[in-house]
Amino acid sequence: MEYKRYHPYRLNEEVRNRNAEVHLHVSDFIYPLFVREGISQKVPVEDFCGVYHHTLETLVEEVERKLSLGIDKFLLFGIPSDENKSELAEYAYAEGNIVYRSVRRLKEVFPEVTLFTDVCLCSYTTHGHCGILVEDSINNDATIEILGKVATCHAAAGADFVAPSAMMDGQVWAIRQMLNREGYNTKILAYAAKYASAFYGPFRTAAISKPAFGDRKSYQLDCRTISQGISEIESDIAEGADWIMIKPAHTYLDMILRAKQLFPKTPVAGYHVSGEYMMLNLLSSKGLADWQSVLWEVHYAIKRSGADYIISYAAPLLAQKLQNNTN
Ligand code: PBG
């Protein structure tokens, strides 16, 4: 019996490195940041390792530290003070709101950064849903009008990309229309295939955006669907998305692969979401896995599936390691 020998390809670290087909670079990472109104110093988010609520000042310091690691892309989430939340989320598009001020300030201090802003209403509505409600159900068409205004507000502040995550039908179209009308050529990173996931828990603590009742299953994708996800991506590209996102990334690697194969010209980002990240953290805190090893493995899996960019809370840890390896 003749058989092929594979062990020589894995013999030692050097050989393994030489045979690696997938690589991570610091330029692959987009790092999420939370800026909160009404706090006087940065506050760690409970049970969300390494994630903080920032003031405008600590946000600037944080970006400076991350830039020194080589991370230059950031996804910004604004958290208004309680009195700025309302039924119709007016503060989400108020000129001079927390996101507007943050983008302005960051672009002033670090013109080289690429800023993505999350465009959603869940942190701005009193009920925590991603859209406007009429008798407890989402009014899609009223919501996309508002999302257009939110995106325009972020564009006016100088955001490079707006990232609509509300999963309203036609949201990319409405945003593109309004940006065009107002004369902004800001790009759109569409949360194209965003599934209704149980892995968003730590994020909702961080964004103070837990729905007061019900869930998001009427607007986010059902985990048992494939073709709806593909179709949502197709619609978003047709409506004017520049990049698309699959979310969550780790649990939906197949959708990243499909997106890459079906839409090879559109950059794909995978969002390694809060619960996926904390799942690895808790596993390692119990001594059941090595924190760095599981992080690398999962990020390689996301990259291997075809993601061009990875939105990840672990970006600084990984970037630090990449920096040490190359120095
Ligand atoms: C806003 C939004 C969510 C996430 C990003 N934008 C949560 C949600 O849909 O409830 C989740 C990100 C994460 O879990 O890290 N709609």
37 Cβ inside 6 Å of ligand 1: no
Widest CA span in the chain: 76
For ligand 1, the distance from its centroid to the CA atom of residue 79, given in whole angstroms, is 13
Rounded to two decimals, the pTM is: 0.96
For ligand 1, the distance from its centroid to the CA atom of residue 105, given in whole angstroms, is 24
Residue 189 · residue 241 · CB < 8 Å: yes
237 Cβ inside 6 Å of ligand 1: no
**Amino acid letter, residue 184:** Y
pLDDT digits (tens, 9 = 90+) for 54-103: 999 999 999 999 999 999 999 999 999 999 999 999 999 998 999 999 99
197 Cβ inside 6 Å of ligand 1: no
Residue 135: half-sphere exposure toward Cβ, Cα within 13 Å: 0
- Is the pLDDT at 326 greater than 80? The verdict is no
For ligand 1, the distance from its centroid to the CA atom of residue 1, given in whole angstroms, is 54
Residue 253 · residue 260 · CB < 8 Å: no
276 Cβ inside 6 Å of ligand 1: no
What is the C-alpha separation between 319 and 120, in angstroms, rounded? 28
Indicate the pLDDT class of residue 327, thresholds 50, 70 and 90. very low
pLDDT digits (tens, 9 = 90+) for 105-140: 999 999 999 999 999 999 999 999 999 899 888 999
